[in-house]
Structure 1
Amino acid sequence: MTSAQYRFRPINLLGATTARWLVFVAIGEGIMGAWSAADIFVLSNFDTLSQRTLDTWSLTGLIAFVHIGLYLTTVVIAARWIYRANANTCANRRKLETPPPWAVGWFFIPFANLWKPYKAMAEMVRANRRSGTDLPLGPWWAAWLISGIVGNISARIAFSGNDPSTLMTSSVLGVIASLAGIAAALLFRRIVMAVTEAQTAQLQAEVF
């Protein structure tokens, strides 16, 4: 099961690890969404809260740094899974228009990352789809784009001013981005588990 460039390697452990970290990300997004919702409450009652309460609340911003670390770790793990799933597909003599390195690389190319990663993922999933399996590629990609774009706008608004009205807008967008982030993480987890299961079953069938 080899091609000129790629070898078929077991993916079950990597797939399980990726699925686990995607759950962590979904939980982290939920916490960030709750934090943004609490921000809305604080901003709505800004004039009635004590200075001590406001000073204490400002420290909760450290949650964002924990979330960033969690997110970046998951990005690295998920990128490894995407590469391996694509490499296994190529090793199985199934030609893909997007090679494994670019299946990951397109995520980091501005503008092209709005559709190229989806195209690569859809092609790979189709090549590994089991009969009767319908995976949520469209909803996953829509949630991913909403989370990224709205989250970016929220952050830019937050940095553009410190008045309550501006921060309120940022927090509302933050809630939307977090909800989309939860959906994206859980939908991608479903895709990861399905492709991992299909490739693991294929490997086991060839061994036996």
Structure 2
Amino acid sequence: MQDMGVISEHREYEYSVNPSFLTKFLKVMLFISIGTTVLLLISNFMQFELVSSGTITKSSADANDTRQHFLSILRLAIFIVTSITFLMWIYRANKNAQGFSSKTLEFTPGWAVGYFFIPVVSLYLPYRAMREIWRVSSAPDHWRTQPGSALLQWWWAVWLASNFSGFAAARFSMHIKSLADIQHATIASILSNCINILAYILALSVVVAISTKQRKLVDEGSGNSFDADGLATNN
């Protein structure tokens, strides 16, 4: 009698929605976000040095304000585009995970995105949705027994820290009445930007890790190999 315990079933996995272009675009936007935040961080240091010098002329103050406003608006625009792209990527990653697994997932694609916008639960449920995507992408048929990821934990912790630090920096900038207040606000902005840079780097790492896991499933099932952007090349 054949031992049923040694029987393994080969499954072929396919993308429900091919994420290749979106993943590539998201990675580009994350790199741009990192670069823009670094520029704003440098600008903040320049502002702190100007305020600390004790000698501020009208021309230097105007130049500083123009530079800061331009970089702030630029970063905001890039942040909006990157955030929308990231949420679209989460939706597609979850949808693909739904197709990979033969078992029902706890989070639907819509709620994997929607929980980001609901107060209180947004502090934890989006992380759980991402953890589920990670587990399914690692082992679609046995994902419930898969361990979590330290990378995901760090990404989520730093993401929360970036939100809180950004809120604190905004509060400092709204109560400026003296040069000392400008210094304090600038320091808060510097710390916030440092955390933001780390958050972007970790987000990029998460995107690369999950997309690589899902691409590997499709690759092994189809017999194709994939390039760095997830585009199939027939063997």
TM-score, normalized by length of structure 2?
0.79
Contact 1:12 1:197 in 2 (8 A): no
- 1:134-149 aligned within 5 A: 136-149=151-164
Q: Tell me if 1:54 matches 2:52.
A: no
Correspondence 1:107-186 to 2 at 5 A: 107-129=116-138, 136-186=151-201
Q: Does residue 114 of structure 2 align to residue 84 of structure 1? A: no
**Would the alpha carbon gap of residues 186 and 94 (structure 1) be closer, same or farther in structure 2, given more than 3 Å must change?**
farther
Name stretches of at least 5 consecutive residues in structure 1 with no aligned partner.
2-6
As a proportion of its length, which structure holds more helix?
1
The answer (yes or no) to whether the contact 1:14–1:81 under 8 Å persists in 2 is yes
Amino acid at match of 1:120: A
Letter in 2 for 1:155: A
Q: In the alignment, is residue 27 of structure 1 matched against residue 42 of structure 2?
A: no
* C-alpha deviation, 1:124, in angstroms: 1.3
User: What TM-score comes out, normalization by structure 1 length?
Assistant: 0.88
CA RMSD of aligned residues (A): 2.2
Report how far residue 71 of structure 1 moved.
Answer: 0.7
- Partner of 1:8, secondary structure, is coil
How far off its partner does 1:37 sit?
1.8
Percentage of identical aligned residues = 23
Q: Which runs of 5+ in 2 are unaligned?
A: 1-10, 140-145, 224-235
Structure with larger Rg? 2
Local SS of the residue matching 2:174 = helix
Distance 1:106 1:36 in 2: 33
Q: Partner of 1:4 in structure 2?
A: none
Give the Å deviation of 1:115. Answer: 1.3
Aligned counterparts of 2:70 and 2:24: Cα–Cα separation in 1: 29
**Are 1:95 and 2:110 an aligned pair?**
no
Aligned partners of 1:32, 1:121: CA distance in 2, in Å? 29
Q: Which runs of 4+ in 1 moved over 3 A?
A: 130-135
- Specify the code of the residue in structure 2 equivalent to 1:100: P
| Matched letter for residue 194 of structure 2 | L
